[in-house]
Amino acid sequence: MLKAATAPHLRAAQRPTYQSYGMLLCLVPLTAFSCLHYGIRPLLLVLSGILSALVTECICGLFRHGRPTMSDATCTVTGGLIGAMMSPLAPFWVPAIGSAFAIGVVKMPFGGTGRNIFNPAAAGMAFCAVCFPTRLFMYPDPTLTDSLPLLDTSAVITAASPTAQLNSGGTTSYGWLSLLSGDFPGPIGSTGVLILLACALYLFARRSSSPLILVPYLIVCAIGAALFPRASITAVTSVSLELCTGLLLFSGVFLLSDPVTAPRFWLARILYGVIAAILTMILRHYGRFECGEFFAVMLVNSFSPLLDRSCWHLTALLRRKREEVAQI
């Protein structure tokens, strides 16, 4: 008995979890790099975020569908990203609360995966930054710390991050070598600059992320840093410090390229990256927090549908005009 079917009869092998697994894989070397400096604590922070996200998604799924829904692994990525944006000194409950907020308030009430307006990880991080700023932006000195204690971190020697030093208008002593080797205070996932770049290339190669967002974002940030340095330093130093420190590169690689909240049209993606970069640099100059990238991501998320539609209409109009000219 022959069966009915509709074309296309065979489909591409990729599944929705393809992109999530790619991102999770990228978080592994970043966390491992941080563990080399600070011991097992960064790993536990990331796991705390993941666990909280999974539990929250299960609870929300039970409320919405009567069964747990975490088959697409996006909540794991959200939790992992929030954990990776934390300071190694942050208490374990901070990423847990951030992940719970991201899933329970920003993602699931809007309908779950694919329907959220804002990037859940950025929103969770913004929530933590507003509620617990002192616990979020206090970093251990990597040159003086071997392994962080798991619970009582009061005795750990802390240091101001390069972004905090720039924010206060002072100068920093971090050169290219320390920036590339990750020997500077910063969030768990953002100090491994070379690893972040490798992750970006890996995500581009497997088409999980688009260079049309990241490249304009980095270029405009670099131009902003060169033209408007936050301290009395040379343009080259300003560019290197702005791009390599804080969460700028991390948010460019992981948050801006979130497939749900980023635009899909090529021109819209370029503009999205440019607007995100402008907002990031404005927040770095005038923002209250030393890392305001997640606020920039949330702000630019709201432009995404508008950018998609307007750019598509613009290109459709240009194409029609070109065809008319060709026919004449």
Partner 1 sequence: MLSRHGTRLLFRKEPAISQPTQELTEVSQVVLPFSFATEAAVRPAVSLYDTVNKGTPLAIIEDDPLATVCSSVTGAVSGERQIQHPLYGVLNCAVIDCVPDMPSPEVPVPLPKALTPDLILQTAETADIIDELDGVPLVLKLHRWQETGCDFLAADGIEIEPYASSAWAVLRDHAEQVLEGLRLAALCIGAPRYHIAVCLSGQRRRSIALRIGKDYLYQTDSYYPKAAPVRYSKHGGRGTVKYGSRVCRIGIQACLALYRALYLGEAHNRCTLTVAGDAVPHPQNVSVPFGTTVQQVLEHCGLIEPPDYLILGEQMTGTAALTSDIPILPGMTCILAFTAAAIKPVTPRTCIGCGRCVQVCHAGLLPFEINRRYRNMHYERLGSLSTHLCDGCNACSYICPCGIDLAAVVREAAATDNTISVDLEEDDDA
Judged by CB under 8 A, the residue of 11, 67, 157, 232 near partner 1 is: 11
Residue of 32, 36, 93, 111 interacting with partner 1 (CB under 8 A): 111
What are the residues whose beta carbons fall under 8 Å from the beta carbon of 307, sequence distance 6 or more?
263, 265, 268, 271, 272, 275
Report, in Å, the least distance between residue 287 CB and partner 1: 28
64 makes contact with partner 1 (CB under 8 A): no
316 lies in the site for partner 1, by CB under 8 A: yes
Based on the shown chain and the rule CB under 8 A, indicate whether residue 112 belongs to the binding site for partner 1: yes
Q: Specify the residue, 11 or 67, whose C-beta has the smaller distance to partner 1.
A: 11
Using CB under 8 A, which of 134, 154, 173, 327 touches partner 1?
327
Of 185 and 252, CB closest to partner 1: 252
| Residue 113 binds partner 1, judged by CB under 8 A | yes
Pick the closest to residue 277 from 210, 317, 221 (CA basis): 221
Binding residue count for partner 1, defined by CB under 8 A: 45
Cα–Cα nearest to 47, from 188, 181, 167, 155: 188
Give the residue among 127, 134, 132 at the shortest CA–CA distance from 154.
Answer: 134
Tokens of 202: 């890996």
Question: Dihedral angle at the C-alpha atoms of 156, 168, 30, 47, nearest 10 degrees?
Answer: 60
Query: How many angstroms separate the CA atoms of 50 and 29, rounded?
Result: 16
Rounded CA-CA distance 181/325 in Å is 55
CA-closest candidate to residue 178, choices 200, 164, 166, 161: 161
Stretch 224-263: interaction string toward partner 1, x if CB under 8 A:
-----------------------------------xxxxx
Q: Applying CB under 8 A, which of residues 64, 264, 285, 288 lies at the interface with partner 1?
A: 264
The binding site for partner 1 (CB under 8 A) comprises 1-12, 14-16, 18-19, 72, 74, 111-115, 207, 210, 259-266, 308-309, 312-313, 315-316, 319, 322, 326-328
